[in-house]
Structure 1
Amino acid sequence: MDTAALLAVYDAQMRMPPGGTLPAGVTYEHDGPVVRIVGGHMGRIRAPRDVGVTGAALDRLIVRQRDYFQARGQGVEWKFRAHDLPADLPERLVAAGFVPEDPSTTLLGFAAELATEPVLPAGIVLRQVHETDDLRRIADHQSEVWDTDLSWVTGMLLSQVSADPTQITILIAEADDRIVCSAWSLYYPGTEFAALLGGTTLPQWRGRGIYRALIAARAQDAVTRGVPLLHVDASPASAPILRRLGFHAITTSTHYHWTPPN
């Protein structure tokens, strides 16, 4: 597998904010080489592989993004990949008060190879959902698994569905009307990619193939739509599963977060 070629396609299509219909209230604002994504539950910064500025100019660029969202009373996330330039961007983000999360593995897969028939344990039902009540249940499920308040997921999913339901597919696996796993795919018009997000399983249901089944179901959906590539920023727990399924690691990504002081 030519991972360099996959990385080049990823850099060309998945670095900057996508086209398509934006959720209500979300805007893209350009500041030199970067784009601010404004109007979500937190701010996001997206940049090309090479930001193109260094030293004091880079420090000023970083501080402008931080101060912009501080004025809004919001936190902001800056996503950095291991092959990004300049190489000292992470330390300059930290100097400006940004805190890194643990790195994720960026993996790409070919939808046609991964679109097998989902195999679920007995008693598990797989459903595609879009109603508000189900989206609220997903947020509750994710909050339970990650032991933090993810209630904002309801509004995020609902805004995506309301903007254009063809740009998102949301799946849940249920046992006796309880969500045991939830996941969704985002589609980006004008690209060859679907992003696989959210894949979260209750601890007591792990190791039974449910996460793999939702990967297969979303790969089938991508094939049906004519979308050839799947993208995942995977946690250390998920990355080995995805590699076994046939995904290819191309880089790592780290989210640097700045949070307003209390």
Structure 2
Amino acid sequence: MTDATTYLHAYDEQLRTDAETPSAVAVTRHGPLRLVTFAGGRGFVTYRDLGGADADAIRELVEVAVEHFRADDEITRVEWKTRGHDEAPGLHDALVSHGFEPGEPESIMIGPLSALAGLGEVPDGVTVRRVTTEGDVRAMSAMVDEAFGERVDARTADALLSRLARGDGMELWVAEVDGRMVSGGRLEPVPGTDFVGIWGGATLEAFRHRGIYRALTAARARSALAGGKTLVHSDSTEGSRPILERSGLIAVSTTTPYDWAR
């Protein structure tokens, strides 16, 4: 088998389980679906596969998922996470007809964690550190929202703080220039697997192309290696994908989020 085939098999077998959502407040099973509730009013739909369902059965699954989350007044938004290698006839049409909007496709990147550990030295004038205090977490969350061009959402910081309080293994890392946070991202060890996830990486536009994101990624990778992990996975935008490819990670599939808002 090629590396891509081996990695994709490991991804499906190890990550598309309850290990995918360690921070869930609640998980409801319906057929192949896992209907997940996160802190901060966020719902999430994922699955190992759709069990060979045809288009009519898939439409029924979408209807059940929407009604499940509609029934919880605290849920304000839901993401249905699709993967490009799944057999899912009619899923796009079913999601769109039930109010979901497709986001930008991202590459599912997998490779040896050690490849990222030497990705880049910290540039002069830059500090990379792990953050844990409420003030730092809120500042990081706001900066990442800004870097992604999104409205600052305090609920995201609330959810991160809730996870830190539960001690589910997540780590938050930032890079600073002259005391200002300019880049940040999460490290997500997946319990019971070889994997760690590198997520949420974002750098303010004025500070891109300086090696800051590479240094931030390397710091997270070294932390994960120290914790005994060997493989890394990440859903990467077109901006971060080339950096990960140059470090030996492989695009094994794609993922497209479909978002629903109350």
Letter in 2 for 1:67: E
The superposition leaves residues 107-138 of structure 1 with CA deviations (integer Å, 9 ceiling, x where unpaired) of 01211222127412211111111111100101
Shift of 1:19: 7.5
Distance 1:117 1:85, change over 3 A: closer
Aligned partner of 1:84: which letter? D
Deviation string for 1:127-169 (max 9, x for gaps)?
111111100101121122223223222112112211115x112
In 1, Cα distance between the equivalents of 2:238 and 2:133? 31
1:157-176 → structure 2 map (5 Å cutoff): 157-164=160-167, 167-176=169-178
Q: Are the aligned partners of 1:34 and 1:51 in contact in 2 as well (CA < 8 Å)?
A: no
Equivalent AA in structure 2 for residue 249 of structure 1: A
User: Hey, what's the Cα distance between the residues in 1 that align with 2:91 and 2:21?
Assistant: 30
After the TM superposition, list the runs of 4 or more consecutive aligned residues in structure 1 that deviate by more than 3 angstroms: 19-23
Question: How many residues are matched?
Answer: 257
Residues 254, 131 of structure 1: alpha-carbon distance in 2 compared, 3 angstrom cutoff: same
Mapped contact 1:33–1:52 kept (Cα < 8 A):
no
Q: Which residue of 2 aligns with 1:145?
A: 147
Gaps (5+ residues) in structure 2? none
Aligned-residue RMSD, C-alpha: 1.8
Q: State how far apart, in whole Å, the 1-side matches of 2:16 and 2:37 are.
A: 17
1:36 maps to what in 2?
35
1:219-252 CA-to-partner distances (Å, cap 9, x unmatched) read 1111111101111100111111211122110000
Task: Give 1:87 shift.
Answer: 3.4
TM-score, normalised via structure 2 length: 0.92
Whether the 8 Å contact between 2:183 and 2:213 is mirrored in structure 1 is yes
Structure 1 portions without partners, runs of 5+? none
- 1:78–1:255: 8 Å Cα contact kept in structure 2? yes
1:66 aligns with 2:69: no
Structure 1 residue 57 corresponds to structure 2 residue 83: no
Going from structure 1 to structure 2, the CA distance change for 1:19 and 1:238 (only over 3 Å counts) comes to closer
- Written as runs of structure 1 = structure 2, the 5 A alignment for 1:167-246 is 167-246=169-248
TM-score, structure 1 as length reference: 0.92
